[in-house]
Amino acid sequence: MPIEKLKQFLDQERVKYLSIAHSPAFTAQEIAAAAHVPGNELAKTVVVHLDGKIAMAVLPANLKIILDDLREAAGVEQARFATEDEFKRLFPDCETGAMPPFGNLYGMDVYAATSLPRDHEIAFNAGSHTELFKMAYGDFARLVKPKVASFTT
């Protein structure tokens, strides 16, 4: 179980969450299908460089990032996707590509898409390619304090 840090944080904050085990899946579409979660409720975490600083962009799995819109929302000159080699060492307790959208636990800014379901639950990778956590979006927003912006298609 690679994500003890997140579990401890959520338990300490008395947040209710559901752990969903699923068969190994690696893309957002595969994960949503394996866990039987609608694509708009599965929040994918994308690691980006904003003026050379690593940050997280969190958006529904069925959407894509528009980098120019994210750059503008962040108020930076340059925005690009981080490579796996650039970010995997930043998440030592996670399988590569399965990091949860809790940048606050890793010392990075988080940008959440306005298209995430604000009145509903979100599900997200819990540090492995076989486990999701599902929780209220309001709890996620309260704990992470993401910068909410419109940057998706």
* Predicted TM-score (pTM) above 0.85: yes
Q: Is the dihedral of CA 12, 107, 54, 91 positive or negative?
A: negative
Q: What is the pLDDT of residue 2?
A: 52
Burial class of residue 12 (count of CB atoms within 10 Å of its CB; 0-12, 13-18, 19+)? exposed
Q: What is the pLDDT of residue 124?
A: 95
What whole-number distance in Å separates Cα of residue 54 and Cα of residue 35? 29
- Reported as a single tens digit per residue, the pLDDT across 89-147 is 999 889 999 999 999 999 999 999 998 877 689 999 999 999 999 999 999 999 999 99
Q: What is the mean pLDDT of residues 34-54?
A: 92
Q: How many domains does the chain have?
A: 1
Cα 36 to the center of its chain, rounded Å: 18
CATH of the domain at 136: 3.90.960.10
Task: Tell me the three-class secondary structure of 97-149, residue by residue.
Answer: CCCCCCHHHCCCEEEEECCCCCCCEEEEEEEECCEEEEEEHHHHHHHHCCEEE
For 66, the domain range is 4-149
